[in-house]
Amino acid sequence: MVLKKLKTYGELVMFSHTLFSLPFALISMLWAANGLPDIATFFWILVALVAGRNGANALNRWVDRDIDKKNPRTADRHLPKGIVKGSEVLWIVGICYALFVLAAYQLNTLCFLLSPVALALFTVYSYTKRVTWACHLVLGIACAGAPVGAWLAVTGQFALTPLMLGAVVLLWVAGFDIIYGTQDIDFDRNNAIYSIPARFGLKNSLLIAKAFHFMMWILLVALFFVMELGIFYLMGVVLSGALLVIEHRLVDPDNKRKMNVASYHINQIVSMLLLVSTVVDLIL
């Protein structure tokens, strides 16, 4: 019974999608420590990343519960169908947010002091689609905190590298979130939901997403020079660029399977590919 409930909660927050920002945070951590940091730091970074991401996603599900119920594409989610109660979701949010603050406290003073800023971003994002089409960028900024936070956890100070890596995540996430949002253009327009696809239309939105991903790729190349990295990292960057091209060629808002591959599956491979190439580069 307990395992079944945990499985349901994992599906609610889409736990498997933790793979999106996690690899970039680990890359930042590895660069900051020039390898693996001490076990305690590594552990609390993982706790912060998992707790923050899943708490934010649970809150997003709760905030969007009425919108999801109206949208045929999302009407079968856990809250609209009554599989979980709203109070349960809020408990998940509270526990995850508390764990995030605890992890920040365990890491260092700067991380602890900045933890309310991160939680504010997690929380504000869920409401942005009601007020601005720039909601995709707000999501990107919230996710960009992962590599910046991981660097701060190791070094306790800001630097150019984590900010560049944060910009990579911002552009990457905003780009594929725009792609995902093209499925709901008509629904968003009819229900006063703000998004780049609803504001600028399908063709222009896909051009914006391509521009974001191109800028992301240029930043990854720039990091090769800034960090004086090796050939294995560069190979990962080249392959990730090829995957992003495939992603954009797959986009078809009328085909849910293709959209899931383009918006989610390929991007999970992109982030893991970059992490693996970074690790190999450090080792060899």
pLDDT greater than 70 at residue 9 = no
Nearest to 244 by CA among 146, 176, 151, 145: 176
CATH of domain 2-214: 1.10.357.140
Which residue in 130, 101, 126 sits closest to 113, CA to CA? Answer: 101
Q: What is the pLDDT of residue 143?
A: 94
Tell me the per-residue pLDDT of 48-91, one tens digit each, with 9 for 90 and over: 999 999 999 999 999 999 999 999 988 888 888 888 888 999 99
Is a pLDDT exceeding 80 seen at residue 162? yes
Q: In the chain, what are the domain boundaries?
A: 2-214
Distances (CA, A) of 155 to 103, 109, 159: 15, 11, 9
pLDDT for 150 equals: 97
Task: Please tell me which residue, 258 or 233, carries the higher pLDDT value.
Answer: 233
* Whole-number pLDDT of residue 42: 97
Quote the distance between the C-alpha of residue 233 and its chain's center: 21
Amino acid making up residue 6: L
Mean pLDDT to the nearest integer, 223-239: 97
20: helix, strand or coil: coil
pLDDT, tens digit (0-9, with 9 covering 90-100), for 185-215: 999 999 999 999 999 999 999 999 999 999 9
Q: What is the pLDDT of residue 264?
A: 78
**Cβ neighbour number for residue 126 with a 10 Å cutoff:** 21
- What is the average pLDDT across 1-7? 61
Percent of the chain with pLDDT over 70: 93
CB-CB contact of 274 with 23 (8 Å): yes
Tell me, what's the pLDDT at 13? Answer: 57
Global pTM reads 0.94
Average pLDDT, the chain: 92
Report phi then psi at 66, rounded to 5: -75, -40
Give residue 142's pLDDT. 95
- Looking at residue 14, its pLDDT comes to 63
The counts of H helices and E strands in the chain are 14, 0
Q: What is the pLDDT of residues 99-155, one digit of tens each?
A: 999 999 999 999 999 999 999 999 999 999 999 999 999 999 999 999 999 999 999
Is the CB of residue 27 less than 8 Å from the CB of residue 161? no
Long-range contacts, 64-71 (Cβ 8 Å, 24+): 64/126, 67/191, 67/193, 70/187, 70/191, 71/184, 71/187, 71/191
Q: Report which of 145, 95, 155 is spatially closest to residue 120, judged by C-alpha positions.
A: 145
The pLDDT, as a whole number, for residue 265 is 84
